Amino acid sequence: MPVLIQELLEASCIDLSIQGKTDTEAISDISAQLEGKKGVRHFIKLREDILTRERLSPTAIGNGLAIPHARTDHVDRIVMAVGKLDKPVLFDSQEVWLVFVIGIPRSLLGKYLALIGAFGRLAHDQLILEKLRMATTAKQFIASFPKRTLGS
């Protein structure tokens, strides 16, 4: 069950200039892009679920990437917001510059596992990470992903 990260991205949920100074502030600022979006049933509870999950098990996965996320009843489909930090922020002692905030319905376990796997592969793809780092528009950011499943 392949998952293409770029198919889950919406330009309106990509902010390439986040000012957050802490992991919690960055997650809150980035997740704010999901408020009122299709698929989000209850934004405040979604954000609380993501922040709670982050406190229990930090989501920095290496090479400046973090994927704060939650399997939750507060979304109808996978939703995602992205933030590129102006200055790296510490996520559990790891410097992070790129954050994908994700809400996933509890019922989508297979897609959840596939998506987390895709992010694991992304964390080791220096070419794509550099393209993402250099992107100055949401359109460029989305176009930085290959037209295939990561790792295939």
Q: Note the pLDDT tens digit of each residue in 107-136.
A: 999 999 999 999 999 999 999 999 999 999
Residue 147 counted as domain residue: no
Residue 150 has pLDDT above 60, yes or no: no
Which tokens in the block code for residue 71?
């399997």
Rounded to whole angstroms, the Cα distance separating 106 from 89 reads 29
CATH number for the domain harbouring residue 90: 3.40.930.10
Task: Mention every residue, 6+ apart, whose C-beta is less than 8 A from residue 6.
Answer: 142, 145
pLDDT in tens, 49-101: 999 999 999 999 999 999 999 999 999 999 999 999 999 999 999 999 999 99
The structural domain count of the chain equals 1
pTM: 0.94
Residue 91 counted as domain residue: yes
